[in-house]
Chain A
Amino acid sequence: MSFPGLLNYWVALILLVCGLIIVMDSRNLVKKLVGLGIFQSAVFLVFITLGKKSDGSAPILDASVSVYSNPLPHVLILTAIVVGVATTAVGLALVARIRRAYGTIDEDEIDDRPEVEPEIVP
């Protein structure tokens, strides 16, 4: 049982670094949000891998099954995914608002441009 060993964690690690690079490097606000999503999903992958037992089954009790994977990480990540989409939506709403105020969603252009439609956020 040496393979895949730690492979899942290493892939999650690369995904996390990819997400980080996108968030740091990209000047497009929509792309930054996609990057945050990838960063987040790497964490999900680590948790779910931790819960896996070899030859295990999904944690739904049944008389014919004896080995179940760990349900605890599943609970944590299930709610995290839905909360993740809710927070992404807040981010997207901010992006839409920035577009209304500046006419662009590119950070470089935002730095150059004056506000086209000054608004007071209630």
Chain B
Amino acid sequence: MINVVADVGLLCLLLTVALAIVCTRSPLSLVLLSGIYSIALCTLFVILDAVDVAFTEAAVGAGISAILFFAVIRPEDEPVTAFSWPSSRAILLGLGVGVLLLAGTLDMPMYGDHLAPAHQHLALRFLGQSFEEIGIPNVVTSVLASYRGYDTLGEVVVIFTAGVAVLILQPDNKKGPAKPGDRDRFAPELMGNPVLKTVLLRMIPLVVLFGLYVQFHGDYGPGGGFQAGVILGAGVITYGLLSSATRLKRIISDKWVTLGMALGVLVYGLVGVAGLFLGANFLDYSVLGPTQTAGQHLGILLIELGVGLTVSCTMVSLYYCFKQGES
């Protein structure tokens, strides 16, 4: 009952925020509104039992993507009028699409229906046999890392490719060591603030520690390489935001970050090839250890490490690129 009430409430919040985004013209408000939208969506995912997804949405939607948007918007983009209705042509076209989709939803299974086709066959098999075959309680991780290992490898390559694309797109600033007085729009006046200083000194180590916990506990609870990578990346980027990108680059140079992006994909691929050499299929971890489940454990640990490395390094690399494009 309480779930249904929360579901309806959050759906209303999502609708309100989405309509506000349609009518808002100011980029700053847009970014803040989409942060609220992400938080509401991630709470809704928790209610719909998708804890791993909620975790990712919270770290990505409300964390990283806001940082990326903030790096691109400028005060001079703020329009004179902050509010406008969309044109009637767009609304009409949207309504047309909406009616077609509405017709399509009418034969969908009802909310929470146990007999829905999606819950038969594969889902039952994964829920019933994954513990025997893989040996870890989090079924989402079993499916993600082992049963659908190919698919996840593809996703990691997509993230890597996106990171490379942003690196290629960044403007070619003159090479050379960064000047000490590098432009940092917010940093100097921020550091006088005791709250931000505490965040810088005390919170960031905790965020990084939490990221590592999520990385290695992903077999047993919600979490895994994708979430951990985003959390670790967010922790490191927060340091850059509060001090300066130049100081962050002195700790983690951009060369290492780029290397880490590629290394993660390499680790993932090599684990797959190791299976081939030991006489099994590509990405079959069962042969990596003395027993099937031990091999699966090792394989999942290694490929999650690869995923975490690529994702976190890509996030930091994105931040560096946008920071460089700004100056």
Contact = CB atoms under 8 A, between A and B. Distances in A.
Interface of A: 1-11, 13-22, 24-26, 28, 30-31, 33-35, 37-38, 41, 44-45, 48-62, 67-75, 77-79, 81-90, 92-97, 99-100, 105-106, 119, 121-122
Lowest 3 CB-CB distances: which A-B pairs, in order?
A54-B112, A86-B162, A69-B49
A28 to B, nearest CB: 7
18 contacts: A6-B111, A8-B111, A10-B102, A13-B101, A20-B94, A21-B86, A30-B77, A35-B21, A51-B48, A55-B112, A57-B49, A78-B144, A83-B159, A85-B68, A88-B65, A93-B166, A93-B169, A93-B322
A82 B87 contact: no
Nearest to A27: B25
Interface in B1-31: 4, 7-8, 11, 14-15, 18-19, 21-22, 25, 27, 30-31
A41 B11 CA distance: 13
B73 interface: yes
Interface in B202-235: 220-222, 226, 229-230
A70 B111 CA distance: 13
A66 to B, nearest CB: 11
Interface string B126-164: 110011000001111001100010011001001100110
A62 B123 CA distance: 17
Interface residues of B, number: 102
Contact of A10 (B56, B90, B105, B226): B105
Contacts of A33: 69
A100 B166 CA distance: 15
A97 B18 contact: no
Contact of B11 (A7, A77, A121): A7
Contacts of A121: 169
A53 B114 contact: yes
Contact of A31 (B27, B143, B172, B325): B27
B-side interface mostly: helix
B108 interface: yes
A51 B118 contact: yes
A84 to B, nearest CB: 8
A56 B3 CA distance: 11
A21 to B, nearest CB: 4
B51 interface: yes
A15 B97 CA distance: 12
A9 B165 CA distance: 35
Interface stretch (B37-45, B187-195, B286-294, B295-303): B37-45
Nearest to B158: A83
Contact of B18 (A38, A50, A56, A57): A38
A50 to B, nearest CB: 5
Nearest to A96: B325
A54 B73 CA distance: 43
Contacts of B170: 93
